[in-house]
Amino acid sequence: MTAPLDNPRDHLETEELSDPYARFARVWERARAADPAFHDAMCLATATPDGIPSARMVLLKGWDPRGFVFFTNLESRKGRQLEENPHAALCFHWSSLEEQVRVEGRVEPVTSEEADAYFASRPRGSQVGAWASEQSRPLPSRSALEERIAQFDQQFAGAPVPRPPHWSGRRLVPTRIEFWLGMPSRLHHRTIYRRDTGGWQAERQYP
């Protein structure tokens, strides 16, 4: 009888799945069990057209074989960079598991229907905040932000808050996914998946 895959260090060969999304599903379940509050946090790295990088933490809001989805103010720094240079990288790191996943690829817009559905699921305060915050622009004072929140809260009083035209989602469509598993003596376990015209190709790499 095969032992359950609760500890990937005990089943490194079994954990080598040809489909990186199936492998990510296993990592994701381990992360969600270990850290229910922050398992969906990821570092999103973008760059200007001339290659100057920028990184920040965001939340993963959905994933499937089409890619990894996050939402943002399109007029923010990351939103503008993705418009000018639609390539990005993600890094998930779950320290309690000593596991990491890195994803690289091209970024594309989600559909309006996807953006509307997610925006409608957000708490009302977050919906109003999406209207009030001119993200990544100078803020003269905290009271200025609070005044804008009050303004939009009053504007949409008694009615659903619509999704702002400057707020939507982006999907990172991977061309490369790396799985990293911490091992003793820093002899870590790394597997790289690259997508080409024939599908996903996997290879191990030295740590």
Active centre residues (catalytic): 186
**Mind giving me the DSSP string for the chain?**
-PPPSS-GGG-TTTT--S-HHHHHHHHHHHHHHH-TTTTTEEEEEEE-TT--EEEEEEE--EEETTEEEEEEETTSHHHHHHHHS-EEEEEEEETTTTEEEEEEEEEEEPPHHHHHHHHHHS-HHHHHHHHH--TTS--S-HHHHHHHHHHHHHHTTTSPPPPPTTEEEEEEEEEEEEEEE--GGG--EEEEEEEETTEEEEEEE--
